[in-house]
Structure 1
Amino acid sequence: MWNKRGQNFLFLTEILISFLVVFAVFSYITYYYQNYSKPLGFDYNRVWAIAYSGEQLSKNPDTLTTFYANLEKSLKSMPEIKEVSFASPNYPYSSSFMSTGLSQGGKKFNNISDFHVGTDYQKVWNVNLIDGRWFVPEDLIGKDKGIIINETFSKEMFGTVKSTGKVIGDFDDKNKFKIIGVVNDFKANGDFVPGNNVMFSQLDTAYLKWTSTVLIKVSEKADATFESKLYKFMANTTRSAVEIQHVDEMRESRNRETIIPMLLFIIVASFLIINVALGLFGVLWYNINKRKGEIGLRRAIGASGASVSSQMVLESLILATLSIIIGCFFAVQFPLLNVFNIPANVYFIAILISILFIYALVVACSLYPGKQAAAIRPAIALHED
């Protein structure tokens, strides 16, 4: 094998390229599968989002408070509606994103998803509290504004210590917030996207003038007729254009944005791997034809067909191992350098799967040429040589 290293260079190169491509594919799949396997943290079924423009509404805080209180009562009086909550426009699966920063013990935390929510937001989404409680109206008059955070964020700030009741600061540590509850992690951007650190704050009077979204949990009786009725009611009440969206449809649309590019990448990679497999098969076939004399001589001195076949497969596996070692050197750099800010275990799982895949590919491509080598008749091979 060493003496024929020049001939084996093409084989080594193809295996190396295949390993790197397979590593990229399995890293991609592993990352999204891990995200998909984690719970959403809420229930999106039968949740509708109603967007409207609040420009026509009064800017007086007291008038707005009365208006939204009456609107909430009117919506809850409809038998098809089970729960109602006003909220900021960055609800799950929407195209809106709001972020903020917090500080704790001198450490800064950035890019925290900031949700301004009504008192019944938890009921609309069936958000699961794992510690503390949800908002009550009395929280708006407390000294430190109450907030609710997700479980992962709580562990980042306080480790295993309970965060409920702790007081933290905003990014500049000028204003204080009191953590009153902790919820399960909240994946608001799709099933395949990891959830951000999350902070819920209660919708107060000052924020009402910016409010333009109402979320409702509807019953199974809610149909197209009710949706049309609801649309007319909201348009007349808010005196603005109204858009009603079904959150389950928004979820499907958001997931397609991830699935379609992933499928295209996998298809392209699959064609490349097929071409490489055909190339490996051709290289092995060519090497066997070049070594007919050697194989014939081995058969003539008593080597069995099985030993000749296993030699062909073993040589392929040894060459593949050399390429895999080189490929692993490059692949290991991804978790070491924290490339793309992806958890290191994703890359290590992808490396392991890629190694097994390459070995399986090499064995599959070398079995038939090895079988053909075992079938060579000694007399014919030596005569041709």
Structure 2
Amino acid sequence: MFSHLLKLMWNKRRANGMIFLEILLAFIVLFGVYSFILYNLERYQSPLGFNYENSIGVRLDFDDEMDSLTVLKTQERIRQDLLAMSDVEAVTWIGPVNPFGGSTWQTSSDASGQLIQTQMMFVDKHFGDAAEVEMMDGRWFTEDDLRGKYRPIVVNREYKERFFPNVETIVDSIAEVNGEHIIVGVTNDFKYKSNFAENFPLTFYPQVERMDNGEPFEMMIIRLRPNSLAEVEEPIYNLLVSATKNTDVVIWDMAKDRIKANRPIVIPIVILMVISGFLLINIALGLFGVLFTQINRRRAEIGLRKAMGATPREVTTQFVMEVLIVTLAGLLLGTFFAVQVPILELMDIPGKFFYYGIIAAVLTILLIVTICAFLPSFQASRLQPANVLHED
């Protein structure tokens, strides 16, 4: 029967060639879309590592004439005044890199022949508690740590696993990252850019690192009592204007900032899904049209087969198999090209997502093709020999 199907398909090679090209195009598009979505879905599911809910970000401007000691005293006074407000639960000062702000600072060092590349965040001793950072090992740095021989830093899990995978703990070890520092703690996963950001090595530095360059912290994260933002925003603004004698104060909702930070990935995903949906609809309609046309042209053949004893099930199977063979040919060619992407490492994405994309694309196309082929094939199987064999 298989050889018979191949002869029938060769005789209708022009129509089958169009189906073949449609399947190949659909596979390539779905392969790319599925790989992109699955890759970003895994990144989205990994935790951010901090709490952004019921929190606001604040940017203000200190007088450039203030010395470091005056800045530190002003920061602490502002923090205490904010904590005295009933709706404020926690306050922390941070440097130029803020969660969901879009900024990235990175440094690299050659430590004992190993290249250490890490992103940087500058935070104060209260950041761990204010952002509710989950620690994997060690603790957050304190004021006492700043008086030690080495300045303290905290790193994230990715830092530890990428550079020291075989070491049980790196707490209390000396790290040569932007100078010699002592690691006092390791956080769990921490991604400050967006939910779709890749887990990348990250190092938290204390404010003293910025004070050395005459650039004190001028941003804060304030965690509020739930549903209190609307009523507390104006009092916070007035307090900060009074403390800095400067009206250049900006306040934003971190939850809304997270949504904005996710848009560069969410919008392409939605667009790709819409395009893929239209493509699949067009393929389905094309298959329906081709099969109905073929059935109308082969009514005599169908009638003859049924007159010779073919059952409706056998007629349906024949038409479905014809389409599936063409589909499988297109999928095999598409798969051949698709597997070259992970094998040759053409993109900086783990290879498993491309293999997942291949499997998902194949299953989707086979499902749609089977459904589209079954309906007209089932209609063909119900034709009566007495009717079609006597047609002009």
TM-score (ref. length: structure 1) = 0.92
Q: What is the aligned counterpart of 1:65 among 72, 84, 109?
A: 72
Q: Is the 8 A contact 1:293 1:381 kept in 2?
A: yes
Deviation of 1:140 after TM superposition, in Å, equals: 2.1
Q: How does 1:1-385 map to 2 (within 5 A)?
A: 1-2=6-7, 3-4=10-11, 5-54=13-62, 56-110=63-117, 112-161=118-167, 162-170=169-177, 175-204=179-208, 205-206=211-212, 209-220=215-226, 222-240=228-246, 241-384=248-391
The 1-side partners of 2:254 and 2:128 are apart by: 16
Residue 168 of structure 1 aligns with an amino acid whose one-letter code is: A
Residue matched to 2:3: none
Residue 11 of structure 1 aligns with an amino acid whose one-letter code is: I
Deviations 1:133-192 (A, max 9, x none): 111112223333322111122111111422223323237xxx222222110111212223
Q: Is the 8 A contact 1:103 1:168 kept in 2?
A: no
Q: Is the 8 A contact 1:88 1:211 kept in 2?
A: yes
| Over 4 Å off, 4+ runs | none
Deviations 1:81-102 (A, max 9, x none): 2222111132211132222224
Q: Is the 8 A contact 2:54 2:225 kept in 1?
A: yes
Residue 332 of structure 1 aligns with an amino acid whose one-letter code is: V
Deviations 1:78-131 (A, max 9, x none): 332222211113221113222222444422243x32100000001111000010
3-state DSSP class of the match of 1:217?
strand
The answer for unaligned runs of 5 or more in structure 2 is 1-5
Q: Is the 8 A contact 1:15 1:324 kept in 2?
A: yes
Deviations 1:216-257 (A, max 9, x none): 122237443422111011112112200111211211222334
Deviations 1:253-310 (A, max 9, x none): 2233432332122112211221121112212222223333332221121111110101
3-state DSSP class of the match of 2:282?
helix
Q: Is the 8 A contact 2:27 2:334 kept in 1?
A: yes
Q: Is the 8 A contact 1:59 1:209 kept in 2?
A: no
The 1-side partners of 2:109 and 2:390 are apart by: 83
3-state DSSP class of the match of 2:39?
helix
3-state DSSP class of the match of 1:209?
coil
TM-score (ref. length: structure 2) = 0.90
Deviations 1:12-46 (A, max 9, x none): 11111111121122122212221221112111112
Answer with 116-125 or 335-344: which moved more.
Answer: 335-344
Deviation of 1:59 after TM superposition, in Å, equals: 4.0
3-state DSSP class of the match of 2:215?
helix
The 1-side partners of 2:379 and 2:147 are apart by: 84
Residue 302 of structure 2 aligns with an amino acid whose one-letter code is: I
The 1-side partners of 2:70 and 2:383 are apart by: 95
CA 1:362–1:220: 2 relative to 1, 3 Å: closer
Residue 184 of structure 1 aligns with an amino acid whose one-letter code is: N
Residue 254 of structure 1 aligns with an amino acid whose one-letter code is: A
Q: Is the 8 A contact 2:43 2:197 kept in 1?
A: yes
Deviation of 1:6 after TM superposition, in Å, equals: 4.0
State, as a whole percentage, how many aligned pairs show the same letter: 31
3-state DSSP class of the match of 2:389?
helix
CA 1:35–1:358: 2 relative to 1, 3 Å: same
Q: Is the 8 A contact 2:158 2:199 kept in 1?
A: no
Q: Is the 8 A contact 2:55 2:254 kept in 1?
A: yes
The 2-side partners of 1:24 and 1:338 are apart by: 15
Q: How many residue pairs are counted as aligned between the two chains?
A: 380
